[in-house]
Amino acid sequence: MSPEVLLVFGILAATIALFISNLLRLDLVALLSLLALTLTGILTPAEALAGFSDPVVLMIAGLFVVSGALFRTGVAARLGRGIGVMAGKSEVRMAVFVMLTAAVLSGFMSSTGTVAVLLPAIVTLAWKAGVSPSKLLIPLSFGALLGGMLTLIGTPPNIVVSNHLQAEGMAPFGFFAFTPVGLVMLLVGVTVMTLVGLRLLPARAPASAARTGEPALTPAEISETYGLSDRLFRLRVTEESSLVERSVVDADLRGRYGVGVLHVRRVSASRRGGGDTRRRRRGPLLPGDELEVQGPPGAVQALCETERLERLPARSLDSGEPLSEFGLAEVLLTRRSRLLRRTLKDVRFRERFGVNVVSIWRGGQTLDEGLASVPLTFGDTLLVAGPWKRIDMLREEGNDFVVISRSPESDRPAPAAARAPLAIAVMVGMMVLMTFEIVAAVTAVMVAAVAMVLTRCIDVEDAYRSVNWESVVLIAGILPMATAMEKTGAIQLVVEQIAPVGAAGPIAMLAVLFLITSGFSQVISNTATAVLLAPIAFQSALEMGLSPYPFLMTIAVAASTAFATPVASPVNTLVLGPGAYRFGDFFRVGIIVQAAILVATLLVVPLFFPF
C-alpha cells in the first residue's frame, strides 16, 4: 500500500469520525477534508474545487428552490390536509396514508421539507382520532425516506449515482428509472410497518390534548402550559418616555429588564396630529405606540417607572381573546441546528428571525427568566411570538428548527397560495424536460428554479433562504474525496478486498454493497456515503464483467434506508421530540424495515436492471 493511499484512508477515517462525533458542522468537516487533500498534494487546487461546479451540486441547490416554492404556494400543505379526509380513524389506515402521502411529496421535494410540512398536520390528525402521535410520526419519517427512492430528484444519492454513470461515459439513470424499484420498496416498507412496525411502536406521546406537539394550541392552552396568565402586559409609550425615537432592538428591554416585547402596535400619524394616516410598520418608537410585553410583574413595573411607560389593561389569553395582531408558535431545535450550545443573545435571535422568545420548555419545565444567556440544547422547545408574516417564515426554516405547534389563527392561506397552479405547472414542466431528456437534468432543474422566481411562486430572498447551504457545501466538499481515492488507487484496493465476495455471485456482491452503504448511512450523511461508495460499486461491476447499473441502483436504495437511528437522517430527528421517541424505538423498527428492503433489493433490482 503506497503512502498516498495510506494518507487518503487516514483523511477519510478522520472525516468519518468527525461526521459521527457531530463536534463540527458537516459542511465544515467536508471543507477540512478538502483542505487536507489539497495541502498534502493529493489533489491539485483545480481538482479540489471541481465539486463546486459539479452538476450534482447545482441540481440540489436548484431543487431546494423548487421545493421552497411548493411549500410557499401551499401545494404540499394541501396534500397533507387531505390525509385526514381519506384516512378516517383507523390507526393502520392512517399510517398507510401518512406513509404514502409523505412518499409522494418526497419524490419531488426534499424529505426534510416534506416532514416539516406534514408534521403539524399529522399530529393534529392523531389528536382528532384519539391516537398517540408516536404511532404515526416514525411512519411519516420512514415514508419520506422511502419516497426518495421514487424519482431521480427524490434524494441526492440518486443524483450522485446517476451523475457517476454519466462521468464514466455511460447513459445516466432517467427521471423515472428509479420508480419501479422505488414503488416496490415503498410497498414493502408500508407492508412491514403496518403488519409489524405498528405493533412495536410505543404509544408514548399522549393521545389527548396536551402540550407535547399539539399543533393548534389555543391561547388558553398556551397560557396554562407556559404560565403566562400573570406575565403579559400592555404598555403605552408616553411623550416623556426615554424610548421615543429608539427601536425595540436598540432598547434591549430583554437584556436590561428581563422583559420581552411580543408585539408593537404602531399608532397612525393622524392620531398624533400629523397628516399621514398610513400606519407605520417599522421604525423607532413614537409617543402613543403600544407594546405587548411579557415578563415578571416586578420587572415590568421597574420598566414603566424607569422608561416612563403607561400601563394599559393587559390581554387575557385565558379569556379566549383572539391574537389578531401577532402569532405564537412552538419551535423544536433539531440535532443539527446551528443554534445549539449558543445563547439567544449570541445568535441575535430576534433580529435574525423577527420574533421574540417568550419561554423555553426543557425537560418538562419552563424557563422564562434570563433567557438571553441560556445556552440552547437539542430538544429545547421555544415559545416564540411575533408578526404573522414572521411566524409563517419560521415554518420555512427547517434547518435549525421545526414548527411543531402554533396558535390557530396561523392556519391561513400560504403566502403565495394564488400561484399554486403556476408552481404545479413549473414542476410538471421540469419533469417533462427530464423524462424525455429534452435538456440535461441540471438544466431542467435550473430552468424550473428560475421559473418559480419569475412567476413569483417564491421571491428571491425566500429562494436563497430555502437552500440548505450546509448540504450544498457538504456535497461540493466531499465529492473530491472520490477523485482522490480514484487518483491514488484507493478505490481499486477496496475493490480487490471485497472481490472474493464476487466468487459467490453478483447477488452476494449486491448484498455486501447494500450492507456497507446502509451501515454508513446510519451514522454519516447518506449523500456522502453515496459519493464514496458509487465509484467502488462501479469498479466492482467492471472487475466482474457485469453491468454497473444494478450495483449503482443498490447503492442508491441502500443510502435511503437511514431508519435505524434518530440521527441517521434529519427527518428522524424532526419527529424524535414530538413523538417522545427513544433511540431504541428507531432501532427496533428500523432494523426490520432495513432487512425487508435488503431482501427486496436483491430480488427486484436484477429484474429491472439485469447484470
Domains 230-315 and 327-410 share a fold: yes
- Max CA pair span of the chain: 91
Band (280; pLDDT cuts 50, 70, 90)? very low
| Alpha-carbon distances, residue 513 vs 162, 502, 505, 559 (angstroms) | 17, 11, 13, 10
Rounded CA-CA distance 402/330 in Å is 9
Tens digits of per-residue pLDDT, 356-399? 888 888 877 788 777 778 898 877 888 888 777 777 677 666 56
CATH architecture classification, 230-315 = 2-Layer Sandwich (3.30)
Question: Residue 402: beta bridge partners?
Answer: 332
Give the residue, 118 or 31, on which the prediction is more confident: 31
Rounded CA-CA distance 102/106 in Å is 6
Rounded CA-CA distance 517/536 in Å is 11
pLDDT surpassing 50 at residue 212: no
pLDDT of residue 211: 39
Helices 549-559 and 526-543: angle between axes, nearest 10 degrees? 160
Rounded CA-CA distance 510/601 in Å is 9
Tens digits of per-residue pLDDT, 241-260? 988 888 887 887 877 888 87
pLDDT of residue 477: 85
What are the E-state strand segments in 305-368?
309-312, 327-333, 356-362, 365-367
Rounded CA-CA distance 75/355 in Å is 26
327-410 CATH fold: Alpha-Beta Plaits (3.30.70)
Averaged pLDDT, 136-148: 91
Q: Indicate yes or no: pTM above 0.85.
A: no
Question: Pairing relation of β-strands 365-367 and 381-386?
Answer: unpaired
Residue 290 three-state SS: strand
pLDDT of residue 273: 46
Rounded CA-CA distance 604/553 in Å is 11
Domain definitions of the chain by residue range:
230-315, 327-410
